[in-house]
Amino acid sequence: MNRPSNISPVNPLPPVVIALVLIMILNEAIFSLGSTGMLPFAGAEGWRIQAIQDYGFYGQIIDDFLARGTMDLDRLIRFFTYPFIHYSFTSAIFGCVFVVALGKYVGEIFHPVSVLIIFIGSALGGAIVYGLVLNAPRPLAGAFPSAYGLIGAFTYILWLKLERLGQNQLAAFRLIGFLMFAQLLFGLLYGGHVRWVSDVAGFATGFLLSFIVKPGGLAELRARIRRN
């Protein structure tokens, strides 16, 4: 049987992944061009720092919320804006690569809305744990908690596959184990930042959300609730 010539040999990226990455790329392009003085605007060299201050997530936000019980819009929005702003060009590149690679795989199995929920939910989970566990003055910025959430979804998919094959499901956690070991190694060699706490939280959030947002996940959850 002849294969139609108009079928691409490579599955296209899910539109939601393209949209998320384009926002990151656009922001990084503005910051990078501004830092080199190529943009004819006053103060363009400091746009990256200003954006991190205005849209990055500060752990103090959680402390203030627990103390006062309220949160204004400026602080609330930071839970969802910090993944699109990075501290450096290199960090942005790695963040985009992770989101593209894992988002493509997860998006081929999960609904695009599910991919978006995992991305945003993992950013939220990473920020909450960052604020609860740490007392870091440096704001959280970058797509890594969300990217690790997609790794959590990837791990969940592999976990189910290994269950169907009757193989050891712990093998599904090899990727996250390797990444955490690499972070620990680089931290010991070059001095690392405590951001890894938010990455782990993002991974756990993505993994747990996958139970609900997977195809048929809500129906399965309702069935379990009825049985109990």
User: How much is the pLDDT for 5?
Assistant: 47
Greatest mean pLDDT among 55-64, 130-139, 169-178, 215-224: 55-64
pLDDT, the chain, mean = 88
| Residue-wise pLDDT tens digits, 85-122 | 999 999 999 999 999 999 999 999 999 999 999 999 99
d(CA 82, CA 86) in angstroms, rounded, equals: 8
Q: Where are the domains of the chain?
A: 15-227
Q: Tokens 């970058």 correspond to what residue?
A: 142
Contacts made by residues 75-79, CB under 8 angstroms, sequence distance 24+: 78/127, 79/123, 79/124, 79/127, 79/128
Q: Provide the β-strand partners of residue 140.
A: 57
How many other CB atoms are there within 10 angstroms of residue 47's CB atom? 18
Is the pLDDT confidence value at 9 over 80?
A: no
User: How much is the pLDDT for 193?
Assistant: 64
**In percent, how much of the chain has pLDDT > 70?**
89
d(CA 207, CA 150) in angstroms, rounded, equals: 8
Mean pLDDT of 118-146: 94
What's the CATH number of domain 15-227, 1.20.1050.10, 1.20.1540.10, 3.40.50.2300, 1.10.150.120?
Answer: 1.20.1540.10
- Residue 7's pLDDT band, with cuts at 50, 70 and 90, is very low
Pick 42 or 140 by higher pLDDT: 140
d(CA 213, CA 216) in angstroms, rounded, equals: 8
Cα 136 to chain centroid distance, Å, stands at 20
Pick 118 or 134 by higher pLDDT: 118
| Residue-wise pLDDT tens digits, 143-198 | 999 999 999 999 999 999 998 888 888 888 988 888 888 877 766 665 556 788 99
Q: Which two tokens stand for residue 166?
A: 């009757």
Model pTM score: 0.87
User: How much is the pLDDT for 8?
Assistant: 47
Q: Provide the β-strand partners of residue 57.
A: 140
Query: For the chain, how many helices (H) and strands (E)?
Result: 11, 0
Residues 197 and 129: beta-carbon distance below 8 Å: yes
